[in-house]
Amino acid sequence: MRRNWAARLRPVVIDGLRAVVLENERLRVTVVPDKGGDVVEFLHKPTDTDFVWLSPQGLRNPHDHLQGAADDVAQFIDHYEGGWQEVFPNGGAPSEYRGARLAQHGEVSGLPWHCEVVADSEEEVAVRLSVRTRRLPYRMEKVFRLRSGTAALEIEGRATNEAGLPLHAMWGQHIVYGLPFLRPGARIRLPEGVKVIPHQSAINPAGRRVQAGGPWEWPVVPADGGGETDLSVVQEPGSPSDIVYLTGFDEGWYEISGDIGMRVEWDATLLPYLWMWQEFGASTGYPWWGRAYTLGLEPFSSMPTDGLAAAVDNGTALVLGPHETKVLRLRAEVLA
């Protein structure tokens, strides 16, 4: 039943793409099944605060992309609106796995997902999205659920190997924050005992924030060029670009807060790493051109951001047995 109170949902079209809005008294969450099931809005209504970063290029329909040189990185970047992506079965750079070439963050983030309503009452609303990958034999599902009176989005994801032999995968949640929520001086909290593993090389020729080596103890780590830097404090615009990998989670959760905050909880036995991507405007070439001010805090199964083949080599890739299904539960709640 269509209603404008309590928990409710409505289908919409955004820039030619099918989307669905899940809403209650405190939250409005917009999901785009036609583009990877991306979350493009996570709005806390009492403060009019959207937590997701929206890139300057905005939301683009991948079906409209007919120009440009063949490029396995650009497949993702050309249509990256910010927001929150499901990443599976390849995380980060293009990679080749058992003869299958996988693009940047491929495959499911660029595919249209089927969407069906599974709950629609004043107490709760929920939709189930599903898709099959095209180069590996996987089926993915995820259910987005919003309950009346809460400021929390609940997600249950399922990854199923439809082949009769074991296969590898990387699985991640590409969650990035931006204005108006993300500000210099915002704080990040993690459980005790977390370690920081720097990426092997700088992601920006102009320099990096964290000294190579490690692992280091969270949050104060050696800075590149000398001294120390506190990773729990969000940096000023123009600060060095970097990516590090956080691990050692007894419990999977983090909080990031300024005037208000967000708490994300997940199953750290399935996703034992948290990728911390920092792009505060220091990258002045392709693809950011100095226009990005964003922070990614991304639960992941594996590391580094070098693709599935690298994760297989270092032993961090997921293994799904013949016809096995792995289930991921995740919760994102506004702290006001």
- Tell me the mean pLDDT in the region 210-237: 96
Helix (H, G, I), strand (E, B) or coil at 58: coil
Interval 12-40: pLDDT, tens: 999 899 999 999 999 999 999 999 999 99
Q: Torsion-angle region of residue 280: left (phi > 0), alpha (psi -120 to 50) or beta?
A: alpha
pLDDT at residue 69, as a whole number:
65
Whether the pTM exceeds 0.85: the reply is: yes
Dihedral of alpha carbons 173, 326, 147, 35, sign: positive
Which residue has better confidence, 278 or 73?
278
pLDDT digits (tens, 9 = 90+) for 304-316: 999 999 999 999 9
**CA-to-CA distance for 40 and 27, rounded, in angstroms?**
13
User: What's the pLDDT band for 103 if we cut at 50, 70, 90?
Assistant: confident
Q: Rounded to 5 degrees, what are φ and ψ at 187?
A: -115, 145
For residue 179, pLDDT over 70 is answered with yes
The pLDDT, as a whole number, for residue 61 is 78
The encoded tokens of residue 259 equal: 């005037």
Instruction: Determine the pLDDT at residue 66.
Output: 58
Residue 118 has pLDDT above 80, yes or no: yes
Task: Please name the residues in contact with 192: beta carbons below 8 A apart, sequence gap of 6 or more.
Answer: 250
Residue 317 confidence (pLDDT) above 90? yes
> Which pLDDT score, from 0 to 100, does residue 76 have?
81
Q: Give the pLDDT score at 95.
A: 95
**How confident is the model over 89-108, as a mean pLDDT?**
93
Residue type, 156: E
Q: How does the average pLDDT of the chain come out, rounded?
A: 94
Check residue 135 and give its pLDDT.
95
* Cα separation, 332 vs 27, whole angstroms: 11
pLDDT at 67: 62
- State the pLDDT at residue 56: 86
Q: Quick one: pLDDT at residue 144?
A: 98
For residue 183, the Cα-to-chain-centroid distance in whole angstroms is 19
